[in-house]
Structure 1
Amino acid sequence: MSNSLSPFLLTGVLLVALSATSCAAVSDASPQSTGNPSAVATSPALPVDEKARELLPENIRAAGVLRVASDPTYAPFEYFDTDNKTMIGWDIDFTDAVGAMLGLKIEHVPATFDTILPGLASGKYDMAASFFSVTPEREKIVDFVQYINSGSGVAVLIGNPHKITMDPVTMCGRTIAGQKGSIQSMAILPAFSTKCTDAGHEPVNIQNFPSQSDANLALVSGRVDGVAADSVTLAYQAKEANGKFELAKGEDYQPEPIGLALNKNSGLKAAVTEAVRDVLSSDHYQAISEKWGVPDSVLVRADVLAAK
């Protein structure tokens, strides 16, 4: 890219590119929680952290509301309840807890994933909670406050007929699906394919689909041999698929920080970091994870924010 691009144009280009690199739902039906959604109140009775509240920008503190955008297609983190208008999920409960710590009401705003970062940059939203991977490229555009750590997995048909594992060599010559624009389709699967060709094997045949739901349907119908996405959501959706697919064996690939996204000019990072630290230290963090079936292995300690 030429250095003659203006900063404004460069920011716009990066936003368009980066907003597409995340995950979306992997379901072939509207998901229902396999956890226990009634176990924790949506609006937690958590005490206000006055130190965190004092760090809020005056306009936010006066308004009393924090607008949080999420793409409601990614169970168990954010998706529509049976009324098709109320967002529920782990991220919803977590950000409600952050709001409680700040003494703010959370207004959950549904948005398509590729519009969230541009909307955040334009001031349409105050915060974004849509399971964003924290990457150096994104950090050029928005601020992040980490709250979880998760890696990628591969879903295969039940019984794993092609013997695929998280070892890339087992995917050589196989057709593996990913959501178009996702980290899996743009970076991880190409890296796996390169490992195959470097070892003298056939490359991975990468098939990109408009949504993760489409990729999932391709797996169930036998058009692809596997689907790459975030492992936690794949595991959740496997339960929802009534035994149609399962996670391939092996360690998650490249676990990375997942964070709340904030406009760099919002002045919110200090207050949100303090509130997130409070939630990570509370029993509520563990409780909502048990509620939504999110494993302990991806949870983080409050001290991950010590140097932020």
Structure 2
Amino acid sequence: MDSTNLRSRMGRILAAVTAFTVLLGGLTACGASSSSAKSSGTSSEASADSKARNLLPKDIRDKGEITAGATAQFPPFAYLPAGGKTLVGYEPDIVNEIAKRLDLKVNWSTFDFQGLIPAIQSGRIQVAAAGLTDTSEREDTAIFVNDLIGRNGAIVPKGDKNKYKKFNDLCGKTVAAVTGSVGVTIVTKQNDSCKADGLKPMTILELPDNSATLLAVTSGRAAAAMQTWPGAGYQAQQNSDLAAIVINEGMNARFTNGLAIDKKSPGLADAFAAALQDMVNDGTYAKIMKANGVDLKTNGITKVYKNWTTNGFK
């Protein structure tokens, strides 16, 4: 090979090596830029998630999943839509978002309402999400992470809405309530007021689920069905034959609802509370509530409490 050809060949090799070096440098720079942008764009959220996740008990963090239970017929709290297999409602939405932030998988099961607390006690589930009212009695079994301020109310036939101006107007009537719900306790307590006014007490018709109480009203078996807001308002919107009334007196005229968490796992409750507060702060909580028809002015929270009923709620 003569010297001219050799110089020409070496020139081509040098040019190829130079081009490859420039290309490699460019790819390396792009990779660094992309990684930096991703870290910068998610740093505050990742920090918040990391802080909440670090509160989880080690066994739950290592396992990477939790068990949760809900009712299938209690909109807009938690329910299965007609023909659906996936739980919807504001509480499943909240739990799923919290779990996402804690990097946990949620294994859902459905129960009758009265079976939720026993399911926590027996260890079948770790979290119950079904519009449970936070009561001092229930706090003996579970830690409540409060996610809503409830209002007492009832569902009545639309034509009877103006008949009931106060709670004692229902004295002497049959009132339906879900077995194991606070509605049963509220009516029982209010019957003392009925008797004090010389009126007949309400007859409590206990039924297994929310839909059964509504059917009792539409069929005439009951004059009213005990419902908390926002549930009462939602049901009235879905059924033109029914009306919702607010009960501003008696036991639990205003109260707290929340996610019930296994009392044997306080770290799980701490992590849930921290993640939920992050959701309140960044607007995710408001989006979930609005998407489920919950009025934030009436029922929303701005600060997350645990066991709020016995921790300063007024």
- TM bin (shorter chain): 0.7 to 0.9
Contact 1:68 1:108 in 2 (8 A): yes
Corresponding residue of 1:36: none
- Whole-Å Cα distance in 2 between the matches of residues 124 and 169 of structure 1? 40
User: SS of 2:146's equivalent?
Assistant: strand
What does 1:151-162 correspond to in 2, within 5 Å? 151-160=151-160
Normalized per residue, the structure richer in helix is: 2
Cα offset, 1:247, TM superposition: 0.9
CA distance in 2, matches of 1:53, 1:163: 51
Q: Deviations over 1:186-239 (max 9, x none)?
A: x21122222122012232233333333222112112232211121211211122
Return 5+ residue gaps in structure 2 as ranges: 1-44
Q: 2:209 aligns with which of 188, 208, 211?
A: 211
Q: Distance in 2 between matches of 1:161 and 1:103?
A: 47
Q: Which residue of 1 aligns with 2:243?
A: 246
Percentage identity across paired residues of the two chains? 27
Instruction: Provide TM-score, normalisation by structure 2.
Output: 0.75
| Matched residue, 1:201 | 199
Deviation, structure 1 residue 305: 5.5
Q: Distance in 2 between matches of 1:161 and 1:52?
A: 46
SS in 2 for 1:155: strand
Residue 223 of structure 2: which of 218, 222, 225 is its match?
Answer: 225
Q: Given that residues 157 and 218 in structure 2 are in contact (C-alpha distance below 8 angstroms), is that contact kept between their aligned partners in structure 1?
A: yes
CA contact (8 A) 1:277 1:305 kept: no
Whether the aligned pair in 2 keeps the contact of 1:143 and 1:263 (CA below 8 Å) is yes
Deviation digits for residues 30-83 of structure 1 (CA, Å, limit 9, x no counterpart) = xxxxxxxxxxxxxxxx75611111111112112222222111211112111344
8 Å CA contact retained: 1:93, 1:288 = yes
Cα distance change on mapping 1:209 and 1:110 into 2, 3 Å: closer
What is the alpha-carbon distance in structure 2 between the residues aligned to residue 279 and residue 60 of structure 1?
A: 21
Is 1:290 paired with 2:287? no
Cα distance, 1:287 vs structure 2: 0.8
SS in 1 for 2:92: helix
Q: 1:119 to 1:55 in 2, by over 3 A?
A: same
Give the partner amino acid of 1:195.
S
Give yes or no for contact 2:64–2:104 (8 Å, CA) kept in 1.
yes
The answer (yes or no) to whether the contact 1:134–1:258 under 8 Å persists in 2 is yes
SS in structure 1 of the partner of residue 118 of structure 2: helix
In 1, Cα distance between the equivalents of 2:130 and 2:208? 18
Q: Which residue of 2 aligns with 1:35?
A: none
1:237 counterpart = 2:235: yes
Mapped to 2, the partners of 1:207 and 1:131 lie a distance apart of 20
Distance 1:115 1:169 in 2: 30
List aligned pairs for 1:75-224, cutoff 5 A: 75-160=75-160, 163-165=163-165, 167-185=166-184, 187-224=185-222
Q: Which has the higher contact order (CA 8 A, sep 6+)?
A: 1
How many pairs were matched up?
260
How far apart in 2 are the matches of 1:261 and 1:49?
A: 21
What's the CA shift for 1:179? 2.2
Superposed displacement of residue 272, structure 1: 1.7
Query: Take 2:70 and 2:139, find their aligned partners in 1: how far apart are those partners?
Result: 18
Provide the rounded CA distance (Å) in 1 between the counterparts of 2:187 and 2:58. 45
Distance in 2 (CA, whole Å) between partners of 1:173 and 1:76 is 30
How many Å separate the matches in 1 of 2:268 and 2:105?
15
SS at match of 2:230: helix
1:263 aligns with 2:262: yes
- Whole-Å Cα distance in 2 between the matches of residues 119 and 161 of structure 1? 37
Aligned to 1:302: 303
1:30 — aligned with what?
none
Against the structure 1 CA distance between its residues 223 and 100, is the aligned structure 2 distance closer, same or farther, given a 3 Å change threshold? same
- 1:294 offset after TM fit, Å? 0.8
* Structure 2 residue aligned with 1:57: 57
**What is the CA deviation profile of residues 113-132 of structure 1, one whole-angstrom value per residue up to 9, with x for unaligned ones?**
33322322333222221211
Question: Cα distance 1:210–1:219, how it changes in 2: closer, same or farther (>3 A)?
Answer: same
How far off its partner does 1:262 sit? 1.5
Q: Measure the CA separation in 1 of the matches of 2:95 and 2:263.
A: 19
Q: Deviations over 1:248-305 (max 9, x none)?
A: 2553752211111111222312222211211222211111111110111111112545
Question: Could you tell me which amino acid in structure 2 is paired with residue 248 of structure 1?
Answer: I
Residue 160 of structure 1 aligns to a residue whose secondary structure is helix
CA-atom RMSD in angstroms: 2.3
Tell me by how many angstroms 1:137 deviates.
Answer: 0.8
